[in-house]
C-alpha cells in the first residue's frame, strides 16, 4: 500500500527538514566539538549525549527524506467521497453524538486533533465511502457500525 500525505503536511515536513539540516545540525556539531574539548571521551557524558542527539537527528532527517521522496501528495478532493484530507463526521448507530475525523497519511496521525490515518481501522473503513453510507469497524470490543453524516 502506498503512503500518502497532504500538501499541508508536505510543506510542514519540508520546513522541518530545512531546520534539522541547517540550524539544528549546526547546534549538535557545536555541542560535539565542545564535548571533545573536555578530554577523555570514554567517560564524557556531554559527548555521549551529543552523539545520541546526532543519531536521533539523522534518523529523523532520514525518515522525512524517505517520506518526501516516496509518498504521494494528495490534493484535497471535495467530491463527497472520503479520501486523504477529507473531514468526516460519523455517528454510531443508536447514539445521538457524532465524531469528527480528518483522514490523513500515517505520518500525520494525531488522535488528539482528530487526525486519523487512512490505514487505521476506522480510516480504512471510511476510505472511499460517501455521506449516508454505513461502515462496520472491527474494534477490540467487537464490531461497531457507524453512519457517515457528512464528508467535506
Neighbour count for residue 99 (Cβ, 10 Å):
14
Residue whose C-alpha is closest to residue 148's, from 92, 83, 77: 92
Same domain as 67, residue 100: no
Domain final residue pick, 48, 74, 100? 74
pLDDT score recorded for residue 1: 56
pLDDT score recorded for residue 149: 95
Kindly give the parts of the chain with pLDDT less than 50.
Answer: none
The total domain count for the chain is: 2
Compute CA 17 distance to the chain's CA centroid, rounded to the nearest angstrom.
15
pLDDT score recorded for residue 94: 79
How far apart are the C-alpha atoms of 147 and 65, rounded to whole Å?
38
Same domain as 70, residue 92: no
How far apart are the C-alpha atoms of 17 and 60, rounded to whole Å?
9
CATH number of the domain residue 20 falls in: 1.10.287.180
CATH number of the domain residue 105 falls in: 3.10.50.30
Amino acid at each position: 500500500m502506498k503512503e500518502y500525505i497532504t500538501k499541508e503536511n508536505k510543506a510542514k515536513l519540508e520546513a522541518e527538514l530545512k531546520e534539522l539540516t541547517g540550524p539544528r545540525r549546526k547546534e549538535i556539531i557545536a555541542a560535539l566539538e565542545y564535548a571533545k574539548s573536555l578530554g577523555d571521551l570514554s567517560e564524557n557524558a556531554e559527548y555521549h549525549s551529543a552523539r545520541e542527539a546526532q543519531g536521533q537527528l539523522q534518523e529523523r532527517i532520514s525518515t522525512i527524506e524517505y517520506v518526501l521522496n516516496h509518498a504521494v501528495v494528495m490534493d484535497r478532493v471535495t467530491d463527497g467521497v472520503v479520501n486523504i484530507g477529507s473531514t468526516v463526521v460519523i455517528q454510531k448507530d443508536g447514539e445521538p453524538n457524532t465524531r469528527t475525523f480528518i483522514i490523513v497519511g500515517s505520518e500525520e496521525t494525531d488522535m488528539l486533533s482528530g487526525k486519523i490515518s487512512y490505514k487505521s481501522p476506522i480510516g480504512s473503513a471510511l476510505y472511499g465511502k460517501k455521506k449516508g453510507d454505513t461502515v462496520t469497524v472491527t474494534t477490540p470490543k467487537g464490531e461497531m457500525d457507524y453512519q457517515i453524516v457528512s464528508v467535506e
